[in-house]
């Protein structure tokens, strides 16, 4: 007796359709995820050193990957290049694979020329904002029959430091270094080896302008490079001097922001580290790179209060010196990462500093000549005997 084959064709058609749909779904959704997922952690140690470039203010962070690749994020202020170079020597870093300048402010880029002049750097990444001093204008050729005006002598470079001197020095040192130079591109990933991956999250175009910062903050800060480090189960955000508008833009772009550790933006300024952003990041630990002598109220009490409400453990370079994070990318005896500080502090981590200047105003930014210990508080004459 012949078996009925009725329905077999339909079953095959359904199977083909299911396979086709599955293949389409994998190509559209699964393959991009597979390509972007962080590589597996090798288990070797990754180091993050948030250097103490105080007592004024500044940022400089050294990353050493599981395979020994080295990344320096910012270089502190002018005169702090030696502090950074001493740290490189201490951690046996003989060359830098990457130097990343988050944004052109002197407390992040002032020591860059000293570093670039002293050590081999393979790649330099910045946000593309150019603050170079304009070259003197070339006079137009005179009309026929008219005598030419005397050619002005190009002005000599002043030895006196100005607010913009640091950037010219950075660009000069970059040109002489032979390093490959590129502008940061959101979404670009840098493989540091051993399973460690560094991803650019910001800035994204269009860049913020002064008009968009009327609520406080500064456009140069808002266009700061923001980075994410992934290594196995460990993750960390490096916020540069990003402001609240930068944070809002990243939240709205639906980026992966949840991280175990965060280097707080803008030294703990009140114009950053918004409540909404902290809720997205959900950090277990927060590192604040600030200076004991800073006059801008860093860290702000409001920022510390938000971090405390989020149950994040706070570390501060002004009170504890250099902060070091080490991890092997996976829990070792229940501990995924370890944080150590250069010194203990008897002061209260959760007490912010009082501002003498508003870090949102143009005159409120750190510039050459605005240094030194904060002025001593004036005595109340009525209390004098």
Q: Is a pLDDT exceeding 80 seen at residue 176?
A: yes
β-pairing verdict for 120-126 and 180-183:
parallel
Contact criterion met (CB below 8 Å) for 89 and 52: no
What topology is assigned to 40-131+160-370 in CATH? Answer: Metallo-beta-lactamase; Chain A (3.60.15)
Domain limits, the chain: 40-131+160-370
- Measured from the Cβ of residue 123, the count of other Cβ atoms closer than 10 Å reads 15
* Res. 314: pLDDT tops 50: yes
How does pLDDT run across 76-132, given as a tens digit for each residue?
998 999 999 999 999 999 999 999 999 999 999 999 999 999 999 999 999 999 887
Mean pLDDT of 185-212: 96
State the Cα–Cα distance between residues 70 and 62, nearest whole angstrom. Answer: 7
Residue 6 pLDDT exceeds 60? no
Task: Return d(Cα 277, Cα 288) in angstroms, integer.
Answer: 16
Q: What is the pLDDT of residues 325-339, one digit of tens each?
A: 999 999 877 899 999
d(C-alpha 36, C-alpha 57), whole Å: 36
pTM confidence score? 0.83
Per-residue pLDDT, 19: 76
CA separation, residue 322 to residues 98, 129, 250, 290, 343 (Å): 21, 29, 28, 11, 8
CA distance 4 to 230: 58
More confident residue, 84 or 159: 84
Strand partners, 9: none
Task: Kindly state the average pLDDT of the residues 180-193.
Answer: 98
pLDDT digits (tens, 9 = 90+) for 29-57: 555 544 556 689 999 999 999 999 999 88
């Amino acid at each position: 007796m012949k078996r009925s084959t009725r329905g077999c064709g339909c079953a095959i058609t359904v199977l083909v359709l299911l396979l086709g749909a599955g293949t389409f779904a994998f190509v559209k959704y699964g393959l991009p995820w597979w390509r972007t997922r962080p590589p597996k952690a090798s288990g070797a140690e990754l180091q993050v050193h948030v250097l103490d470039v105080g007592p004024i203010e500044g940022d400089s962070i050294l990353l050493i990957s599981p395979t020994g690749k080295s990344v320096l994020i910012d270089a502190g202020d002018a005169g702090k290049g030696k502090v950074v170079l001493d740290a490189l020597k201490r951690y046996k870093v003989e060359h830098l694979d990457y130097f990343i300048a988050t944004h052109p402010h002197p407390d992040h880029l002032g020591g860059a020329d000293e570093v670039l002049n002293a050590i081999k750097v393979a790649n330099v990444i910045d946000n593309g904002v150019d603050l170079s001093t304009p070259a003197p204008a070339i006079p137009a050729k005179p009309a026929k029959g008219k005598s030419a005006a005397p050619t002005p002598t190009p002005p000599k470079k002043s030895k006196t430091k100005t607010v913009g001197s640091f950037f010219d020095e950075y660009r000069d040192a970059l040109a002489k270094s032979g390093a490959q130079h590129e502008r940061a591109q959101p979404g670009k990933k840098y493989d540091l080896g051993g399973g460690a991956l560094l991803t650019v999250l910001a800035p994204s175009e269009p860049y913020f302008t002064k008009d968009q910062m009327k609520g406080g903050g500064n456009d140069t800060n808002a266009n700061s490079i923001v980075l994410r480090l992934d290594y196995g189960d460990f993750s960390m955000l490096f916020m540069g001097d990003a402001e609240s508008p930068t944070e809002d833009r990243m939240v709205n772009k639906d980026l992966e922001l949840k991280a175990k550790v965060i280097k707080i933006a803008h030294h703990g300024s009140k114009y950053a580290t918004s409540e909404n952003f902290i809720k997205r990041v959900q950090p277990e630990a927060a590192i604040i790179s600030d200076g004991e002598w800073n006059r801008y109220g860093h860290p702000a009490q409001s920022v510390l209060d938000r971090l405390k409400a989020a149950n994040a453990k706070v570390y501060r370079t002004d009170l504890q010196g250099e902060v070091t994070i080490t991890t092997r990318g996976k829990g070792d005896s229940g501990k995924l990462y370890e944080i150590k500080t250069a010194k203990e502090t008897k002061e209260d981590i959760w007490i912010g500093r009082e501002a003498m200047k508003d870090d949102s105003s143009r005159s409120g930014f750190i510039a050459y000549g605005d240094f030194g210990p904060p002025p001593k508080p004036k005595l109340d004459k009525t209390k004098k005997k």
